[in-house]
Amino acid sequence: MTYFLWGAIVIIALSMVALLYRLVKGPNPSDRVVALDTIGVLLICLVGLFSILVETSFFLEIIFLLAILSFIGTIAFSKFIEKGDIITRDNSR
> How many whole angstroms separate alpha carbon 14 and alpha carbon 57?
25
Per-residue confidence (pLDDT) for residue 43, from 0 to 100? 92
- DSSP structural state of residue 76: H
The pLDDT profile of the chain, 93 residues, written as one tens digit per residue, is: 789 999 999 999 999 999 999 988 878 888 888 888 899 899 999 999 999 988 888 888 889 998 999 888 888 887 877 777 666 666 666
pTM of the model: 0.77
> How many whole angstroms separate alpha carbon 41 and alpha carbon 44?
5
Per-residue confidence (pLDDT) for residue 86, from 0 to 100? 64
> How many whole angstroms separate alpha carbon 38 and alpha carbon 55?
25
